[in-house]
Structure 1
Amino acid sequence: MQLLHRRTDGSAARPSLFEALHSRNYRLWASGQIVSLIGTWMQRIAQDWLVLELSGGNGLAVGIVMALQFGPTLVLSVWGGVLADRYDKRRLLMGTQAAAAVFGLVLGLLDVGGVVALWHVYVLALLLGCSSAIDAPVRQSFTIEMVGPARLPNAIGLNSMTFNLARIVGPAIAGVGITLVGTGWVFLVNAASFAAVFGALVAMRPAELFTVERAPRRKGQVREGFRYVAGRPDLCVLLATVFVVSTFGISFPLSLSVIARNTFDKGADAYGFLSTVLAVGTLIGATLAARRRGTPGIRLFVLSAAVFGIFETLAGLMPAFWAVAIMLIPAGAVQLTFSTIAMNILQASVPSDMRGRVMGIYMLCFLGGTPLGSPLLGWVADVVDPRAPLVLGGIVSLIAGLGAALVVRRTHVDDVAMPDVGVDEPRTV
């Protein structure tokens, strides 16, 4: 049953914006995440800028490093979901976070030492991608174990708020840091930031986690996950839309770095500023999502995809730097609405012993198209115009949203019955 505060007249009120923070384990997780994610966003900005410097401003090179970083998702994300369904997610996350810290440390040392080459960035991006592909489905499916099903929508919203607070602070710090001390020290700061989330995982009380049914070890579990999704028309529509929009529309690291450098002839601080402005929009969307009661429907999901496409297209058509920045705010808010609704529908409607694999398939759709879309969009930026990736991505996202809306209307997939998610109370309260 949805946990609600009661008004004095006995009627139900909206859940608290910070309802999920009533869980000690989740408080630890959120605290560690904000520090670690600031470092992650600093590294993303520094990595893109380092690639542009090493390649002489080549947009294709940025697309290649993004493809290498997200390419492992095509192979490993679903297997990460299998691990999440079988094993202790907290311990799995300790391993993936430690690996990511090591890769950031190596890149930072190479850069500070003055010996970094483009191929070093490519290799370390690939290794980081392998770690992230396993980490993502484990991390996403771990949320419900920290807060339970009643607080899950609020926790997903707070996760997005944490992510986007870091997305505001991280790029801003990175832009200044790159200008003052160079990209290498930014990578080293990111490596150190993983200590916060690792410490939070160690400090959690396993007995206070909500128990979930684990999948037994047997053959064919990956195929079983895909068969489950194929049998849910609502999930098929959702995941197909996520794949198209994410592949072509959510390409801001590439698009904004190229626009800042090649269109407006500005430096890393301008790229950091655009990324921060986009994050302001996504934070607004995350705040609204955290206050939303219950699980939103698929109709709102497809509408958000179409509206996101409109705002992204407008951002790409803006003639001035400040106009692009302003248009990124609504684009970011609707993008966050789009991804948060998808996450809510998936986590709230999938059985516990299948959740990891379904989240793995979701990450495959959300990030797996990047190896295809990023090099293509980078090439378009070099050959056509640096603004072209935003315009093309916006148009494709609009078409995807309208197409999904048509399918929903004709097939009534939003009427599909939701199964029992199968989450029990914590082992001790």
Structure 2
Amino acid sequence: MAAKPPHPLTFRDYRCYWIARFSATIAQTSMVVVIAWQVYDIARETMAPREAAFQLGMIGLCQFLPLALLTLVVGWVADRVDRRFIVRLTALLEAACAIALTLMAFRHTTTLPALFTIAALLGVARAFANPAMSALAPNLVPPAVLPQAIAISSVSWQTGAVLGPALGGYLYAIHTDVPYGVAAFCFLLTFSMLMLIRPIPRTTIARASPLRQMIDGLHYVRRNKMVLGAISLDLFAVLLGGATAMLPVYARDILHVGASGLGHLRAAPAVGSMLTAIFLGFRPLRNHVGIKMLAAVCVFGAMTVLFGLSTWMPLSLLALALLGAADMVSVFVRQSLIQLYTPNEMRGRVGAVSSLFISGSNELGEAESGFLAALLGPVTAVVAGGIGAIGVTLLWSRLFPELRRAKTFAPPAHLVQPAEEVRP
């Protein structure tokens, strides 16, 4: 009988990684909710609700454009430069952004152009951090432990995503500068934890021009139908079902719950995701993983529709929590497949492409939701997006039968990383 794989948290470097991701997520999600609230609140002083919703779309666009422009570069950097150095540097940049927002809030000098500029800088930081962070994790645990490590890592992210929005809303109620000050502290804690991670094996890339190496990442994704299908499904499903972009509108003008209620709305999807991630950390999916991912995305779309139609806060929170739970199942399967079906020397570049698609589904989805809400109204935009997410899932199950046929997470033999490369 085969020995049971060790728990991911028994590896020292992974523990540091877990804490770093947890503290960074608290900082990022608290800043996201406060920035969105400030943008909408400032805009509503001089604009109608639809025009103010358009400004929310612009914030999403400001965060997406840096990633879209830098994708090939950041993936190549993640495969050529020490990934620990990249994530440390981006943590410092995010801390600097948080400190700048703290000073502006304290002096009551916050403006829409300043918020757009900071959002763009945070987009640059995330562009470099996401592929390096995702490519770093598989080097910290053996392959047999990686699916569970992804679930445990998601617990850190989802727990931070639960605490961050609510914390941001409550701290903002104390004073506008407090949430940004706390975020700056969390980013500095992230930097400290990343400094404790020991050197990892360096990847080797075949000799070729930097541009050729960058394009290789795109070619790998295009050729690997499993990876392409998983990444693109997330892009189009969440791009259409981006209900979270409209939460400031729902909090202020539909549910009438204010800034603290916005914190609850932002936290609800993360509560569902966190509970699901905890369950998957102890009982990870092992069989029929592809079908379960497709079913989860359909549930995600259905709960988006329910939230869009709801005018009762408890029902809205329930819909968002179930939406988050379904999204976590999809994330768990997708990330496991991508990491295990990608060789280590390609993970930075494939991670950059994945980050572009994920950011396209998040930040660009927020922009799309904001622009669509300006044209059709927020409720119509959210409901239509949820229906579209279900339609995309059904279409992708036909276009990428590899997803339906994925039974387990077992990677091809030539991609298996030797266990001895990872130190406890």
Same fold (TM over 0.5): yes
Partner Cα distance (1:150, 1:278) in 2: 29
Q: CA deviation at 1:411?
A: 9.6
Residue type matched to 2:194 in 1?
A: L
Q: Does 1:22 align with 2:10?
A: yes
Does the 8 Å CA contact 2:369/2:381 hold for their aligned counterparts? yes
For residue 160 of structure 2, what is the aligned residue in structure 1?
166
For residue 9 of structure 1, what is the aligned residue in structure 2?
none
For residue 55 of structure 2, what is the aligned residue in structure 1?
61
Partner Cα distance (1:90, 1:162) in 2: 19
Q: CA deviation at 1:25?
A: 0.8
Q: Does 1:297 align with 2:289?
A: yes
Which ranges of structure 2 fall in alignment gaps of 5 or more residues? none
For residue 258 of structure 1, what is the aligned residue in structure 2?
249
For residue 136 of structure 2, what is the aligned residue in structure 1?
142
Residue type matched to 2:189 in 1?
A: A
Does the 8 Å CA contact 2:165/2:264 hold for their aligned counterparts? yes
Q: CA deviation at 1:212?
A: 5.7
Q: 1:417 to 1:156 in 2, by over 3 A?
A: closer
Q: 1:3 to 1:250 in 2, by over 3 A?
A: farther
Say which SS state the counterpart of residue 143 (structure 2) adopts: coil
Total equivalences in the alignment = 412
User: CA offsets, 1:251-296, max 9 Å, x none?
Assistant: 41x1212111111222110000111222111112212332315586
Q: Does 1:201 align with 2:189?
A: no
Q: Does 1:101 align with 2:91?
A: no
- TM-score normalised to structure 2 length: 0.90
Q: 1:2 to 1:123 in 2, by over 3 A?
A: farther
For residue 329 of structure 2, what is the aligned residue in structure 1?
337
User: CA offsets, 1:144-202, max 9 Å, x none?
Assistant: 111121211111111111111111111111111111212x2211211121121111111
Q: CA deviation at 1:2?
A: 8.3
Does the 8 Å CA contact 2:84/2:194 hold for their aligned counterparts? yes
Residue type matched to 1:78 in 2?
A: L
Q: 1:371 to 1:176 in 2, by over 3 A?
A: closer
Say which SS state the counterpart of residue 292 (structure 1) adopts: coil
Partner Cα distance (1:110, 1:295) in 2: 51
Q: 1:428 to 1:336 in 2, by over 3 A?
A: closer
Q: CA deviation at 1:213?
A: 3.4
- Which of 327, 348, 353 aligns to 1:356? It is 348
Residue type matched to 1:146 in 2?
A: L
Q: CA deviation at 1:344?
A: 0.6
Q: CA deviation at 1:65?
A: 0.7
59-68 or 233-242: bigger deviation: 233-242
Partner Cα distance (1:427, 1:265) in 2: 51
User: CA offsets, 1:309-339, max 9 Å, x none?
Assistant: 1121122122312211111111110011112
- Which of 380, 398, 401 aligns to 2:393? It is 401
1:19-418 to 2 correspondences below 5 Å: 19-56=7-44, 58-182=52-176, 184-206=177-199, 209=200, 211=201, 213-216=203-206, 218-219=208-209, 220-252=212-244, 254-290=245-281, 291-292=283-284, 294=286, 297-370=289-362, 372-409=364-401, 414=406, 418=412
| Structure with the larger helix share | 2
Partner Cα distance (2:385, 2:363) in 1: 15
Residue type matched to 2:102 in 1?
A: G
Q: CA deviation at 1:81?
A: 1.7
Residue type matched to 1:215 in 2?
A: I
Partner Cα distance (2:165, 2:403) in 1: 43
Does the 8 Å CA contact 1:239/1:362 hold for their aligned counterparts? yes
Which ranges of structure 1 fall in alignment gaps of 5 or more residues? 6-14
268-277 or 24-33: bigger deviation: 24-33
Say which SS state the counterpart of residue 387 (structure 1) adopts: helix
Does the 8 Å CA contact 2:304/2:382 hold for their aligned counterparts? yes
Partner Cα distance (1:335, 1:34) in 2: 19
Partner Cα distance (1:3, 1:111) in 2: 55
Q: CA deviation at 1:389?
A: 3.3
Percent identity between the aligned chains? 24
Partner Cα distance (1:293, 1:318) in 2: 32
Q: 1:428 to 1:274 in 2, by over 3 A?
A: closer
Does the 8 Å CA contact 2:72/2:352 hold for their aligned counterparts? yes
230-239 or 265-274: bigger deviation: 230-239
Partner Cα distance (2:207, 2:131) in 1: 18
Q: 1:375 to 1:402 in 2, by over 3 A?
A: same
Q: CA RMSD in A?
A: 2.4
Partner Cα distance (1:202, 1:2) in 2: 35
300-309 or 332-341: bigger deviation: 300-309
Q: 1:215 to 1:260 in 2, by over 3 A?
A: same
